[in-house]
Amino acid sequence: MKLSIQEVEHIASLARLELTAQEKEQYSGQLSAILDYVDKMATVDTTGVEETSQVTGLINIEREDQIIESGIADELVSVAPQNGDGFVKIPKIFENK
């Protein structure tokens, strides 16, 4: 199987990555080789087999819905690239009409 440049571009856009022409070329070859390898999964008979998404068998862990002060709210906000007055700043996403 060979992933086309168009397919690589589509996956990159889903993943919010912008690739250079060289990267697209490289990933098209490398991802194709990796997918060819994992295609051997198709030969395994999994009829009637349940999926495993975690192995410890734990079910939901619940706690009281109580507020516990972290004590570091300001510090957490201050690691944001742009912040002020206790808020994370982002660029405008809606225009006033």
Partner 1 sequence: MDLNKLSLLEAFKGLREKEFSSVELTKDCLKQIKKLDNKVKAFLTVDEEGAMSQAKLADVKIKKGDGISPLAGIPVSVKDLFCTRGLRTTAASKILENYIPPFDATAIAKLKNNDAVIVGKTNLDEFAMGGSTENSAYGPTHNPWDLDRVPGGTSGGSTASVSADMCIYSLGTDTGGSIRQPASFCGVSGLKVSYGRVSRYGVVADASSLDTIGPIAKNVADLALILGYIAGQDSKDSTTPPIKVADYSAEINKDLKGLKIGLPKEYFIEGMHAGVHDAVMMAVKKFEELGAEVIDISLPMTDSALASYYIIQPAEVSSNLARYDGIRYGLSKRESDLQKIYLDSRSQGFGREAKRRIMIGTYALSAGYYDAYYKQAMKIRTLVKNDFDKAFEKVDVIMTPVAPTPAYKIGEKITDPLAMYLEDVFTVPASLAGICGLSVPVGFAEGLPVGLQILGKRFNEETILRAGHQYQLNTDWHKSKPILD
Residue in 15, 64, 66, 97 binding partner 1, rule: CB under 8 A:
15
Min CB(96)–partner 1 separation in Å = 16
CB of 83 to partner 1, least distance (A): 9
Binding mask 57-76 for partner 1 (x = CB under 8 A): -x--x-x------x-x--xx
Surface-to-core class of residue 8, CB atoms within 10 Å of its CB (0-12 exposed, 13-18 middle, 19+ buried): buried
DSSP codes of every residue in 52-64: -S-SS--------
21 near partner 1 (CB under 8 A): no
Residue 97 Cα to chain centre, angstroms: 34
